[in-house]
Structure 1
Amino acid sequence: MVATSTLKITPEILKLIAEIDEFKGAWRALGTLAPERLSALRRVATIESIGSSTRIEGSKLSDREVAELLSNLDIKAFISRDQQEVAGYAAVMETVFQAWQQIPITENYIRQLHRDLLIYSEKDDWHRGQYKTSSNRVAAFDADGNQVGIVFETASPFETPRLMTELVTWFEAEKQAEILHPLLIIGIFIVVFLEIHPFQDGNGRLSRVLTTLLLLQAGYTYVPYSSLESVIEQSKEGYYIALRQTQRTIRSDAPLWEPWLVFFLRALQQQMQRLRKKAERESLLLADLSEISAQILEHVKDHGRITIGEAVTLTGVSRNTLKLHFRRLVANGHLKLHGQGRGAWYGF
C-alpha cells in the first residue's frame, strides 16, 4: 500500500499550497475575461501542453508544427510517430476538458484514457489500454529526442495489476478521508503511478493527462488556460532528479515524498504565476476598450459574427471610424478578420 505516515509537511510545502489555493480562489475574479479571450488562452496553452508533453518523451515537433497539425486533425492521416502521438494527446486532452466531471478515477477509466492516448499510434496497437506484459524503465531524453540515460526501474508486469488496484483504492480513501490536502494526494498519486509505470509505453504522457484531470476535479478550474507541461519541459533536469529521489524510496518503510512534492508544487506555482500575468494583462486590455469596441464585442458574443455594415447600424458611427476600432480589436487579439472585400466579417 501507499505509505504516507512519514510524509513531512515542510514550511515550503505549506507556503506553496497556500499560494496556489489563493489563486484558485481569485480565479473567479480573474476568470471573468471575455469568452473569446479565455478561448484564446486555452488554445495557446493546449498547443504548449501537447508539444511539451510529447517532447519530454522524445518527440521533435515544435509548438508551431503542433499547431499546424491540430488545425488539420480532421484529416486523420498522420505520417510520423511524432504526429500520431500529438494527435492522440490532443484527442484525450479534449476528452478531459469536456468531460472531467464524468470521469471516475478507476482502473478501467485509466486504461480507457491510455487507449485513447495511443489511438493513432500504429506501433502501439498491440498494447493500448492494457497493462504491460514486459519490463520497462523510465528513460531521460535530451533536446534532440535522444535517450541519455535510465532514470529508474519500474514495477514488474506481475506486480502491476495489484499495485494499480492499491493505488486507486488509496486515492479514493484519501479523498474521502479529507485529511491530506488534495494537492498532496494528487502529487503522491502521480509519482506512484510513474513508479509503477503500468503500461508498455505512454506512461509519462498519461501521467500529465491524469494530473490535469485530477486538478480539475479538485476545483483548480484554471488549469486548461496555462500549460503545466511546458513548465515541466523547461525544468526537465529537476523533474527527473525529483522523480529519481522519491521513486527509489517508494517501496521502502519510509518513502521520501518531499523531493517530488516540492518539485510538483513549484511547477504548479509557476503555472499559476504565468496565468496570473496573462489574465491581468488581458483584464487591462479589456478595461481600455472604448464603449464602441465593447458594443462590437458584445454583438459578436451574442451573434457569433459582425460586419462593418452591421456595426454602422448598431453604433451609428461612420465606417471609417469603425475601421479603426476593428483594426485595434484585431491587433489586440479580440477579434479575427474572416474573408475579404464585401464578404469580410469579424468573429472570434
Structure 2
Amino acid sequence: MKLVLNSYSFVFDREIVKLLLEIEEFKGSWKAYGNLAPERLIELKRIATIESIGSSTRIEGSKLSDAEVERIMAGLSKQSFRTRDEQEVAGYAFLMNEIYDSWEEMPLTENIIRQMHSLLMRTSDKDERHRGEYKHVENSVAAFDSSGQQVGIIFETATAFDTPRLMGELLEWTNIELTKRSLPALIVIGMFVVAFLAIHPFEDGNGRLSRALTQLLLLRHGYVYAPYSSLESVIEATKDSYYVSLRATQKTLGQPEPDWSVWLHYFLKALVKQVRNLKRKVETENLLKTMPEISLRIIELLKAHGKLSISEAEKLISINKFTLRAHFKNLVAEGHVIRSGKGPATRYSLPQREVSERELGK
C-alpha cells in the first residue's frame, strides 16, 4: 500500500472556513458556555460518555442500547462480560475513562496507541492474542451478503508487513504537522484519522480506536468541551455518509495529491453538529435554572418515563392535575415538551432531536 501524506493538496473552500470558524468560536467561548454547576457538568459528561460508547460500538455492529450500556458501565468492576457486545462496550468504557482521566499524559506515539488498543480489547477473550499488537494477518475491508459470506473487497488496507513502517510515517508526519501549525489542528486530526483507517493497523478494533483517538487529539489540542457532547452519536446517525466519505478520500491516498476534501467536509460537519448539540444542552440547562420547581419535576419525569399523560404524572408526583395541566401547557408553549394525541389519549414527551444525513450534506 502506498500512502502519500501530502497536506499541500488540501484546499480551503468557503464551507471549510465557515465550519472551522464556528468550531473555533465555540472553543474560545466554552468557559462562558460551561459555567454550569459542577454537578450538572458531571451529569452532561456522564450522559455523553454513555452515548459515545453506545454509538461507537453500534457503528461496528453491536446491538446494545444506551440503557444497556449504562448498566454495563455501572458494573465495570466485575471481571467478565457475557456476550461479545458487552465485552466491546466494557472495553470502550475502560478506554474512554482512561482518556478523560489522563489525556494530558498521552502524547500521540506508537506506544500510547498500542496501550490504547490493549485497553480497548481488555475484556475480550477472543482478542487476547493480539491486544496492543499490530496485525499479523491481512484485514482488508470486505462486503458480506445476508448469510455472512464474503462477496468482495471494498477497500484494500495496508499489508501486515507494511503496517509498522506506515504507522511510523503517519505518526511522525502528524506530530510534525501539529507542531508546525501551518494547518489548523482539526484539519490535521481529520487527515490522521482517514489515513489511520486506511492502514487499519490492528487485526480488530480499528474503527472504535480511531474514534477514541479523535477524542484524545481534540482534548490535547484545546477542545476541552469534547467529553460533554457525543461525536460518536453524530457519526452513528450519519453512518452511510461516514463510510462513503472515508472511502472517497482513502482511494486517493496513494496518489501524488490526495483528495482530502470529501472526508474533511464530513468530519468538520460532524464536529459542528457536536458543538451545536452541546450549545443546545447548555442553553437548556441555563433555562432550567429559572424554571418553576413543578416544571422541573415534570421534565425529570419525562426523562425517566418517556411519554406520560397528566393523570400518570399526577400519580407519580402527587400534584393535582389542574396545576399539572397549567405547567404542561406552558412547557409545550415554550417548546420544552411535545404534546401528541387528543382527549384521553393525550401524551407528553421531550423533543427528540437527531442529526440526519441531510444535515451533514449527504
Question: For the superposition of Structure 1 and Structure 2, which TM-score range results when normalised by the shorter chain?
Answer: 0.7 to 0.9
Q: Give the 5 Å matches for 1:163-178.
A: 163-178=166-181
For residues 115 and 45 of structure 1, the distance between their equivalents in structure 2, rounded to whole angstroms, comes to 23
Equivalent residue for 1:155, pick from 154, 158, 165: 158
Query: Is 2:144 the counterpart of 1:126?
Result: no
- 1:163 is aligned with what amino acid? L
Shift of 1:190: 0.5
- Would the alpha carbon gap of residues 85 and 141 (structure 1) be closer, same or farther in structure 2, given more than 3 Å must change? farther
- For 2:334, the equivalent position in structure 1 comes to none
* Partner SS, residue 158 of structure 1: coil
Amino acid of the residue matched to residue 243 of structure 1?
L
Amino acid at match of 1:280: E
Deviation at 1:76, TM superposition (A): 2.5
Q: Quick check: 1:56–1:141 contact (8 Å CA) kept in 2?
A: no
- The aligned length equals 297
RMSD of Structure 2 on Structure 1 (CA): 2.3
| Aligned residue in 2 for 1:19 | 22
1:97 matched to 2:88? The reply is no
1:268 equivalent in alignment to 2:271: yes
The residue type equivalent to 1:209 in the other structure is: A
Does the CA-based 8 Å contact 2:142-2:152 persist in structure 1?
yes
Cα deviation, 1:204-257, whole Å, max 9, x if unaligned, reads 000000000000111111110111001001101000100110000111111010
Q: CA deviation at 1:148?
A: 9.1
**Within-5 A mapping of 1:41-56:** 41-56=44-59
| Partner residue, 1:340 | none
**Aligned residue for 1:112?**
115
The amino acid that maps onto 1:75 is K
Matches within 5 A, 1:122-271: 122-139=125-142, 150-271=153-274
d(CA) in 1 for partners of 2:239, 2:152: 13
> Where do 5+ consecutive residues of structure 1 fail to align?
290-324, 334-348
Q: CA deviation at 1:73?
A: 1.5
Does the 8 Å contact 1:57/1:141 carry over to 2? no
Contact 1:58–1:146 (Cα < 8 Å) also in 2: no
C-alpha change, 1:214 and 1:76, in structure 2 (3 Å) is same
Q: Normalization by structure 2: what TM-score?
A: 0.78
Could you say which residue in structure 1 is the equivalent of 2:303? none
1:74 aligns with 2:90: no
- Change beyond 3 A, Cα 1:154–1:218: same
Asked if 1 retains the 8 angstrom alpha-carbon contact of 2:120 and 2:209, the reply is yes
Q: 2:257 & 2:67 partners in 1: Cα distance?
A: 45
Deviations 1:96-131 (A, max 9, x none): 001111101000110000000000000001101000
C-alpha distance in 1, partners of 2:240/2:98? 30
After superposition, the Cα gap between the structure-2 partners of 1:192 and 1:49, relative to the gap in structure 1 and judged at 3 Å, is: same
Give 1:74 deviation, angstroms.
1.7
Alpha-carbon contact 1:58-1:141 (below 8 Å) kept: no
CA distance in 2, matches of 1:205, 1:241: 17
- Structure 2: gaps of 5 or more residues: 301-362
Aligned partners of 2:135 and 2:201 also within 8 Å: yes
